[in-house]
Amino acid sequence: MSLHVGIVGLPNVGKSTLFNAITKAGAESANYPFCTIDPNVGIVQVPDFRLKALAKIVNPQQIVPAVVEFVDIAGLVRGASKGEGLGNQFLSHIREVDAIVHVVRCFEDDNVVHVEGKIDPERDIETIRMELILADMETVYRRQAKLVGMIKSGDKKAKFEAEVLEKLVKKFDQGIPANLVGFSEEEKELLNSVSLLTLKPVIYAANVSEAEASNGENNANVQKVQEIARLENAEVIPVCAKIEAEIAELEEDEKEIFMEELGLTESGLDRLIRSAFKLLGLITFFTAGPKEVKAWTICRETKAPQAAGTIHSDFERGFIRAEVVKYEHFMENNGLNGAKDKGLVRLEGKEYVVQDGDIMHFRFNV
């Protein structure tokens, strides 16, 4: 499945620097607002140590990791929903992503101008939140206008939708985004079809200085972001975009030495990518053979036929059963044959719910 994550934030908070580090795509980065006009897109590998471990046993021709598509979206300013800065251009790009990484500047640097004049994470977060709320209000107003005639004709579904939207508008008027409103499952299902920006899950990337790369949690501005995130049940990942960009340019063996010197056990980008993967409720299953070891992305609670369908629609349509072995059992017994000898390979049917790390072989007939 295709997974899209948008990187958003005010101008000059480090979005494009972070994007460069994530994707090595070379997006233009400069010390002035709106240097990123068209969204840059990069495909990022999801870090997963299990792939290399599997490959050592299987010895495949290639290794294919799971991926996330990151989109670097042009910087927002106050009034963007009304046409300020790049106006509504950013909105269409955000609507297309599954989740949002909100980059918040938490470092002081007189050489890098701030669009609002000074560093204030709370104000910056509120600015973007309000622009997204205002954009969502326009979306809701348009939808409400379409429901009027349907309600007059006695459409009960339209009446229910109108009630849900009115509840939402009242919250918007209070500055509350859709993801902080308590909705029933039925209401959530309805709103998913409305394409609301403030319903999208968020990770805050708190951009800290080089000196704080290994201890960003102690930064007072990061702590302010964490307080906001706690109220939203969101996650905060402290990163130093500048250092992450430097790490991204190094070879694998050089990365370990460089991070050790900085006191880092893992790059901020790896944590960010994993968090984005986790945020959307995704897991990984593997196929392993002489041609390739490959990671496949599915939602939690996905059943075996639908998992097979991520490989090819014929696999789902003609699904018979799945041969399944846990990653740990595969590794402990030096591969599939060893696991079979121990009776650790199972045959599962259509109701089997795939687990993270399952190594699967599908049997099908079309």
pLDDT for the residue 216: 79
Contacts within 8 Å (CB) and 24+ apart, 137-143: 137/169, 137/172, 138/81, 139/194, 139/195, 139/196, 140/165, 140/168, 140/169, 140/172, 140/194, 140/196, 143/194
Q: Is the pLDDT of residue 34 over 80?
A: no
- Return the pLDDT at 274: 82
Closest CA to 129 of 192, 198, 195: 198
d(C-alpha 20, C-alpha 16), whole Å: 6
Residue 169, pLDDT > 90, answer yes
**Three-state SS for 361?**
strand
Is 16 flagged in the annotation as binding? Answer: yes
Render pLDDT for 300-324 as a digit per residue (tens, 0 to 9): 999 999 999 999 999 999 999 999 9
User: Does residue 31 register a pLDDT over 80?
Assistant: no
pLDDT above 70 (res 42): yes
Task: Check residue 35 and give its pLDDT.
Answer: 45
pLDDT at 272 over 80: yes
Indicate the fold that domain 4-279 takes in CATH: Rossmann fold (3.40.50)
Instruction: Kindly report, residue by residue over 206-250, the tens digit of the pLDDT.
Output: 999 988 888 878 899 999 999 999 988 899 999 999 898 888 888
Distance between CA atoms of residues 34 and 53, nearest Å: 43
| Spatial separation of the C-alpha atoms in residues 30 and 21, rounded to whole Å | 15
Instruction: Determine contact, residues 296/310, Cβ cutoff 8 Å.
Output: yes
Region 347-357 average pLDDT? 97
Does the pLDDT at position 116 exceed 70? no
Span 301-364 CATH architecture: Roll (3.10)
Residues 105 and 13: beta-carbon distance below 8 Å: yes
Q: List every span in the chain annotated with CATH 3.10.20.30.
A: 301-364
167 marked ligand binding residue: no
pLDDT value at residue 33: 44
Average pLDDT of the chain, as a whole number: 86
Please give the share of the chain, as a percent, with pLDDT higher than 70. 88
Contact status, residue 261 vs residue 212, Cβ threshold 8 Å: no
Give the Cα separation of 170 and 174 in Å (integer).
7
- Residue range(s) in the chain whose domain bears CATH number 3.40.50.300: 4-279
Residue 335 tokens, joined: 């591969």
3-state secondary structure of 310: helix
Q: Could you tell me the two tokens for 179? A: 């993801």
Give the C-alpha separation, 35 to 116, whole Å.
17
Q: For residue 210, what are its two tokens?
A: 């080089």
CA distances from 212 to 222, 247, 330 (A): 11, 15, 41
Single out the residue of 26, 155, 21 nearest to residue 101, CA to CA. 21
Known binding residue 310? Answer is: no
Tell me the sheet residues that pair with 7.
72, 101
170 is in an annotated binding site: no
